[in-house]
Structure 1
Amino acid sequence: MTTVTQMKCACSDCLCIVNLNDAIMKDGKAYCGDACANGHTGGSGCGHTGCGCHS
């Protein structure tokens, strides 16, 4: 049996891989941070190096 510990952020534009122990969980999906989890209100990106996600 394999246990998944990391997955891509649930934000479609985001490139981040999140550790499920550290992820922001919302509606059963794992996000890398509050900006992605909240739908990028105000147009803010996640702020992680190399990732240019925003809505």
Structure 2
Amino acid sequence: MTTATQMKCACNSCLCVVSLESAVLKDGQNYCSGACADGHKNGQVCGRTGCTCNAA
């Protein structure tokens, strides 16, 4: 049996894979950052290198 330790951020536009230990948990979903978990309020991006989720 294999246990997952990482998964894709639950934000649809995000490309990040997040460790389940460090994920931001919101509504049962795992996100890589508070910006993704909050739905990119005010156009915030997740800030991870190479990811441009919700960038204008």
**TM range, normalised to the smaller chain?**
over 0.9
Which letter does structure 2 place at the counterpart of 1:20? L
Q: TM-score scaled to structure 1, two decimals?
A: 0.95
> How many residues of Structure 1 are paired with residues of Structure 2 in the alignment?
55
Query: 3-state SS of the aligned residue for 2:25?
Result: strand
Superposition pairs for residues 26-37 of structure 1, below 5 Å?
26-37=26-37
- Relative to the length of structure 2, the TM-score reads 0.94
Identity %: 60
Unaligned stretches of 5+ in structure 1? none
Give the Cα–Cα distance (whole angstroms) in 1 for the partners of residues 33 and 11 of structure 2: 10
RMSD over aligned Cα atoms:
1.1
In structure 2, runs of 5+ residues without a counterpart are none
Runs of 4+ in 1 over 6 A off after TM superposition: none
Deviation at 1:54, TM superposition (A): 1.1
